[in-house]
Amino acid sequence: MRVLVRAYTALNLGDDLFLDTFFRKYPNVMFEIESWFYDDYKRFTDRYHNASIRKNKGIITRIKEKFKIYDNIDGRYINRFDLIIHIGGSIFKENPDNDLLDVISEKEVELAKKKNIPYYFLSCNFGPFYTEEFVKRKRKVFENSYRVFFRDKYSYEMFKDIKSVGYSEDVVFSSPYKEEFKNIESKKILGISVIDFKDRGSIGEFEDEYQKFLVDGINKFIKYGYKIRLFAFSVREGDLSAAERLYNRLSDGIKDFVEIIAYRGRIDEIVYPFAECEKIICTRFHSMVLAIIAGREFYPIIYSEKLLNIIEDMSLCSEYYYFGRENKLVFSQYSTENNKESNIFRHFNNIFGIDNRTEENYN
């Protein structure tokens, strides 16, 4: 079986964990991805015997779309696949800068339906959105899709009347790392997932508050005898720059106990050091997911409603950082026993012939 995977391929750890999870859980399925960063992802896919990379021809596609030049090139391409998976968290947010990509994605869903190729959207959430027109457009997309699994109940409730729409936990909760982390003992290390707030719209105003909070936490834990690891999940989105700014805020004596670990395409080189941390301050959503499947104490920093929605949906914790409020650094722990295999994978186990149960078991 051949599967085309649409994903955000720009060396963001969370999105690459989506790919890693599918590639490793289904070794007998052949997966293909596309990326503008072909060389980076060629090195990434070379680690899997069942994954390949195709260079994204985004510029050509944009020119054709601009001048309304349509032909059967995309049709010939997707004909090679038995199904298509589009996976990613914030793939349904209204942004005029993404309108062209939205149109292309919508046309691909329509084309796949005409060709009877199942099209899936996985681990996504809806919004933010600003117009009813955007909602209507996406309703049409969901109606044309084979299955849509939202990872938050807010999004699911908006579209649950559509037959193809369902709810399931984020794919990474079922990562093979969940088992591998059981062999990693925690050390007296505080891990911090850092992001860059400066170019994130309205939350940019909280950049200084955010960094000061982390500096205070670092100083406090070093007094308790901890070492500190700053994790940059996405260099391209500024995580490394933010980690370096945070590091430079520290006094010279404190810096000796702090290291920065940036993700550059080798997942093992960041997730294993991450799993060694005893406690983790989580800004990136998937830093919280990794902390949970590693069985570590964690403290989320809320910078978007999507994170808060999922925390409340799953009753993950009662303590978290919310900007503009008085916050205390109190860690939570979520039992991995509460986190069962995602029904996304129970569904795909059936599709890929892993077991004999039918799809109806998982609706």
Residue 360 pLDDT class (50, 70, 90 cuts): very low
Decide if pLDDT at 84 tops 90: yes
Check pLDDT > 80 for residue 239.
yes
Average of per-residue pLDDT across 176-191: 96
**Per mean pLDDT, which range of 181-190, 268-277, 331-340 is the poorest?**
331-340
Tokens of 261: 């670990």
pLDDT class of 100 with cuts at 50, 70, 90:
low
What's the rounded Cα separation, in Å, for the pair 51 and 334? 33
Please enumerate in sequence order all residues whose Cβ is within 8 A of that of 175, keeping only pairs 6 or more positions apart, or say none: 17, 20, 21, 293
pLDDT of residue 356: 40
Please report the domains of the chain, with CATH numbers, ordered by start residue.
2-175+340-362 (3.40.50.2000), 177-332 (3.40.50.2000)
Q: What is the pLDDT of residue 159?
A: 97
Give residue 358's pLDDT: 36
What confidence category does residue 102 fall into, taking pLDDT thresholds of 50, 70 and 90? confident
Nearest-Å Rg of the Cα atoms of the chain is: 21
Residue 316 CA to residue 327 CA, distance in Å, equals 18
Average pLDDT for 170-178: 94
The mean pLDDT of 254-275, rounded to a whole number, is: 97
Three-state secondary structure of the chain: CEEEEECCCCCEHHHHHHHHHHHHHCCCCEEEEEECCHHHHHHHHCCCCCEEEEECCHHHHHHHHHCCCCCCHHHHHHCCCCEEEEECCCCECCCHHHHHHHHHHHHHHHHHHHCCCCEEEEEECECCCCCHHHHHHHHHHHHHCCEEEECCHHHHHHHCCCCCEEECCCHHHHCCHHHHHHHCCCEEEEEEECCCCCCCHHHHHHHHHHHHHHHHHHHHHHHCCCEEEEEECECCCCHHHHHHHHHHHCCHHHHCCEEEEECCCCCHHHHHHHHCEEEEEECCHHHHHHHHHCCCEEEEEECCHHHHHHHHHHCCCCCCEECCCCCCCCCECCCHHHCCCCHHHHHHHHHCCCCCCCHHHHC
| pLDDT for residue 97 is more than 80 | no
The Cα-based distances of 158 to 165, 272, 305 in angstroms read 10, 37, 15
Query: Can you give the pLDDT at residue 332?
Result: 82
pTM: 0.89
How far apart (Å, rounded) are the C-alpha atoms in residues 300 and 289? 10
Decide if pLDDT at 172 tops 90.
Answer: yes
